[in-house]
């Protein structure tokens, strides 16, 4: 990128080309008189692992230029692990030095993959289309965020969606985001749904009238290919004359003058520095990790943290980087030698994969179209719960450690996920360096209620796993048996291997209390011409996967912005 090729000023600058940023770039650039710039830290992508649904574990779990691959700080509620041996010297009683090998332990760190490309995490996720529970949004409204109730946000979900199957009051058919049924049929996913439906009600649509129940997921795919936010919102309009898209750029900070955001300072891939100005607004859509980092480096955040790093304080805003919430998740994996599951074996390489590849190329169906997690459930951990507080994901592959360890052979997996954790974490800067990773502390399971809910949720999952016909496939757990009647045994297993299911939110929360970062119109408190629009604004995490809600936030944010400058009507 050459400096003379970069426009010096724009009307709107969108920082982050993820799920919400792609929506904003599309909707704002639809007004031809506005000049829009979209900045994305990652590269453009044509990678077959992204477009082919079954390829996503090889980006989420493996080192890739499309993945930030963050780690958390050691989580105190997790079990301890032994670090690689190190050498040191000790002094004996007479003063002589002796070389010694030291073994250190620390609490296990969590893994935090995030998308680093146009489309953000929607380009590397499992593509599940889930909105959450209607009460999630009513609770947001009750916290002082007028205009964010379920009835308020439903039109934006529908505006975004083009559902191939459901044509009713809960779904849209004309939006950019294609939603389809899973294009892979197998006996294992059907067995999960059949077994689960014996214990819970069958639900044909998790985004319909009721969330609770067991059923098949829908996915953001079109003709068997991933339909990311970039594919849905950017690809059709990328050549608009008033839209400039800059990839491979890392935003350092915002330029603030007299309490007003006026420009963005960033580095290109050669670490050359550029500054572009915003005539109207800057919108941060860099995600639950990226947006608070940029605010902090810009001098917007807790005064004590900024001063510690010698960052000039532009606005003492104590909530920046706080209120981090994420869904903690525990996986059980079982070996079952059938090439109808997704796995690595001589038979799969010689026979199954060639047939499946041909099926995918000709029909866009089969294993290569699978999101791996094909069915699931929203259930209550106990009878005291008013709404589901546990989500299950059932997968047709052996899965451990975020697929960072690839296992030989075949099998199935089932996840139990805590939907409404009470634990709260933080994100802080490790330094002023824009290329340095943040300090991420989800503080998983720090609230004792979270562990008890996970234990109860595991028991509900085990009931399904032990029910016919699924039980014939769950007799060989790869990490040993767990007594479902022994809470201590279940807890130990959870502490040993539970981790994120990739839904961090809340670090720039929307609200009216002293820890709020943005108001109900997504304006940053105390700074003019600056908004945040992404998952970081969620005051409370939604009860389900977070990609569809983040796209909804982008749609609503676009209308909030355009209503300030251009008369439009909200979707009906």
Quick: pLDDT tens for 356-388.
Answer: 999 999 999 999 999 999 999 999 999 999 999
pLDDT at 391 (0 to 100): 98
Q: What's 247's domain CATH number?
A: 3.50.50.60
Q: Do 128 and 29 reside in the same domain of the chain?
A: yes
Q: Please state the rounded mean pLDDT for residues 7-16.
A: 90
Q: Do 513 and 529 reside in the same domain of the chain?
A: yes
Asked if residue 109 is part of any domain, the answer here is no
Give the chain's length.
572
Q: Do 336 and 238 reside in the same domain of the chain?
A: no
Residue 152 C-alpha from the chain's centroid = 23
Cα 48 to Cα 6, 54, 356, 360, 423: the distances in Å are 30, 10, 16, 13, 37
Task: Tell me the three state secondary structure of residue 280.
Answer: strand
Structure-derived torsion over alpha carbons of residues 450, 454, 455, 457, reported in degrees to the nearest 10: 140
Asked whether residue 571 carries a pLDDT value surpassing 80, the answer given is no
Q: Do 472 and 339 reside in the same domain of the chain?
A: yes
pLDDT at 4 (0 to 100): 40
pLDDT at 572 (0 to 100): 44
Range name among 45-49, 168-172, 438-442 with the lowest pLDDT average: 45-49
Asked if residue 57 is part of any domain, the answer here is no
Tokens 């939110």 belong to: 505
C-alpha–C-alpha distance, residues 255 and 194, integer Å? 57
Tell me the β-bridge partners of 391: 378, 417
pLDDT at 94 (0 to 100): 67
Q: Do 518 and 404 reside in the same domain of the chain?
A: no
Q: In the structure encoding, which two tokens stand for residue 405, read together?
A: 């360890």
Pick the last residue of a domain from 437, 466, 497: 497
Asked if residue 63 is part of any domain, the answer here is no
Q: What's 208's domain CATH number?
A: 3.30.410.40
Q: Do 412 and 380 reside in the same domain of the chain?
A: yes
Strand spans (E) along 312-464: 315-316, 328-335, 373-379, 390-395, 411-418, 426-428, 439-441
Asked if residue 172 is part of any domain, the answer here is no
Would you say 79 and 491 are in contact if contact means Cβ atoms under 8 Å apart?
Answer: no
Residue 503 annotated in active site: yes
Q: In the structure encoding, which two tokens stand for residue 204, read together?
A: 């044909």
Q: Please state the rounded mean pLDDT for residues 11-16.
A: 98
Q: Do 457 and 370 reside in the same domain of the chain?
A: yes
Quick: pLDDT tens for 55-85.
Answer: 888 888 667 899 999 999 999 999 998 877 6
Q: Do 379 and 462 reside in the same domain of the chain?
A: yes
Pick the last residue of a domain from 457, 480, 497: 497
C-alpha–C-alpha distance, residues 524 and 508, integer Å? 9
C-alpha–C-alpha distance, residues 51 and 53, integer Å? 6
Asked if residue 430 is part of any domain, the answer here is no
Cα 293 to Cα 15, 140, 238, 257, 287: the distances in Å are 12, 24, 28, 19, 10
Quick: pLDDT tens for 221-280.
Answer: 999 999 999 999 999 999 999 999 999 999 999 999 999 999 999 999 999 999 999 999
Q: Which domain holds residue 469?
A: 183-216+328-418+446-497
C-alpha–C-alpha distance, residues 339 and 397, integer Å? 10
Asked whether residue 160 carries a pLDDT value surpassing 50, the answer given is yes
C-alpha–C-alpha distance, residues 283 and 564, integer Å? 14
pLDDT at 388 (0 to 100): 98
Q: Do 10 and 30 reside in the same domain of the chain?
A: yes
Q: Do 530 and 409 reside in the same domain of the chain?
A: no
Is beta strand 390-395 parallel, antiparallel or unpaired with respect to 315-316?
A: unpaired
Q: Give percent of the chain with pLDDT exceeding 70.
A: 94
Asked if residue 434 is part of any domain, the answer here is no
What residues contact residue 493 under an 8 Å CB cut-off, 6+ apart? 330, 479, 482
Task: Tell me the three state secondary structure of residue 177.
Answer: strand
* Catalytic residue (one of 200, 327, 393, 503): 503
Residue 54 C-alpha from the chain's centroid = 18
Quick: pLDDT tens for 310-339.
Answer: 999 999 999 999 999 999 999 999 999 999
Q: What is the mean pLDDT of the chain?
A: 94
Domain total of the chain: 2
Asked if residue 88 is part of any domain, the answer here is no
Q: Do 304 and 277 reside in the same domain of the chain?
A: yes
Pick the last residue of a domain from 461, 479, 497: 497
C-alpha–C-alpha distance, residues 463 and 315, integer Å? 52
- CA angle in degrees (0–180, nearest 5) for 365-369-371: 145
**What is the enclosing helix (H) or strand (E) of 103?**
none
Quick: pLDDT tens for 88-134.
Answer: 656 666 666 666 666 688 999 999 999 999 999 999 999 999 999 99
Q: Do 124 and 238 reside in the same domain of the chain?
A: yes
Would you say 329 and 416 are in contact if contact means Cβ atoms under 8 Å apart?
Answer: yes
C-alpha–C-alpha distance, residues 464 and 469, integer Å? 10
Q: What is the largest CA-CA distance in the chain?
A: 85
C-alpha–C-alpha distance, residues 293 and 321, integer Å? 8
Task: Tell me the three state secondary structure of residue 14.
Answer: strand
Closest CA to 234 of 68, 122, 128: 122
Long-range contacts of the stretch 361-365 (C-beta < 8 A, 24+): 363/224, 364/183, 364/223, 364/224, 364/225, 365/183, 365/184, 365/224
Asked if residue 545 is part of any domain, the answer here is yes
C-alpha–C-alpha distance, residues 110 and 500, integer Å? 7
């Amino acid at each position: 990128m050459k400096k003379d090729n970069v426009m010096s000023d724009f009307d709107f600058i969108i920082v982050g080309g993820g799920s919400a940023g792609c929506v904003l770039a599309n909707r704002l650039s639809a007004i031809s008189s506005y000049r829009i710039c979209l900045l994305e830290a990652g590269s453009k992508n044509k990678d077959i692992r992204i477009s082919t649904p079954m390829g996503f574990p090889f980006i989420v779990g493996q080192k890739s230029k499309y993945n930030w691959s963050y780690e958390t700080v050691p989580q105190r509620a997790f079990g301890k692990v032994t670090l690689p041996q190190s050498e040191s010297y000790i002094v004996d009683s007479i003063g002589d030095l002796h070389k010694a090998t030291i073994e250190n332990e620390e609490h296990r760190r969590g893994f935090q993959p995030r998308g680093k490309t146009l489309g953000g995490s929607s380009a590397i996720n499992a593509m599940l289309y889930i909105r959450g529970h209607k009460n999630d949004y009513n609770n947001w409204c009750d916290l002082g965020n007028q205009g964010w109730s379920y009835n308020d946000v439903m039109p934006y979900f529908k505006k975004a969606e083009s559902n191939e199957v459901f044509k009713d009051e809960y779904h849209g058919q004309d939006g950019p985001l294609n939603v389809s049924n899973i294009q892979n049929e197998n006996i294992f996913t059907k067995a999960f749904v059949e077994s689960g439906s014996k214990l819970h009600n069958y639900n044909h649509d998790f985004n319909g009238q009721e969330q609770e129940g067991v059923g098949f997921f829908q996915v953001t795919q079109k003709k068997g290919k991933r339909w990311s936010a970039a594919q849905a919102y950017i690809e059709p309009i990328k050549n608009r004359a008033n839209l400039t898209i800059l990839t491979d750029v890392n935003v350092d900070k915002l330029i603030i003058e007299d309490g007003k955001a006026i420009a963005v300072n960033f580095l290109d891939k050669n670490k050359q520095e550029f500054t572009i100005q915003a005539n109207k607004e800057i919108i941060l859509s860099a995600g639950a990790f990226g947006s608070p980092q940029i605010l902090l480096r810009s001098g917007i955040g807790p005064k004590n943290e900024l001063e510690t790093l010698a960052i000039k304080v532009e606005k003492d805003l104590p909530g920046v980087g706080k209120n981090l919430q994420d869904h903690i998740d525990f996986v059980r994996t079982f070996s079952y030698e059938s090439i109808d599951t997704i796995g690595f074996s001589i038979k799969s390489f010689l026979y199954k994969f060639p047939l499946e590849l041909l099926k995918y190329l000709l029909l866009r169906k089969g294993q290569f179209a699978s999101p791996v997690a094909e069915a699931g459930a929203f259930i209550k951990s106990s009878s005291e719960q008013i709404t589901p507080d546990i989500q299950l994901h059932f997968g047709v592959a052996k899965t451990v450690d975020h697929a960072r360890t690839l296992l030989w052979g075949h099998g199935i997996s089932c996840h139990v996920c805590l939907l409404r954790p009470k634990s709260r974490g933080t994100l802080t800067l490790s330094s002023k360096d824009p290329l340095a990773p943040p300090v991420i502390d989800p503080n998983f399971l720090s609230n004792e209620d979270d562990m008890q809910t996970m234990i109860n949720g595991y028991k509900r999952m085990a009931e399904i796993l032990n029910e016919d016909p699924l039980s014939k496939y769950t007799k060989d757990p790869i990490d040993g048996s767990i007594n479902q009647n022994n809470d201590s045994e279940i807890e130990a297993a959870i502490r040993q291997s539970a981790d994120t299911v990739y839904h961090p939110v809340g670090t720039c929360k929307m609200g009216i209390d002293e820890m709020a970062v943005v108001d109900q119109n997504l304006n940053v408190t105390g700074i003019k011409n600056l908004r945040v629009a992404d998952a970081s604004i969620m005051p409370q995490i939604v009860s389900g996967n977070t990609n569809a809600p983040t796209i909804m936030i982008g749609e609503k944010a676009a209308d909030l912005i355009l209503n300030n400058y251009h008369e439009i009507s909200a979707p009906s």
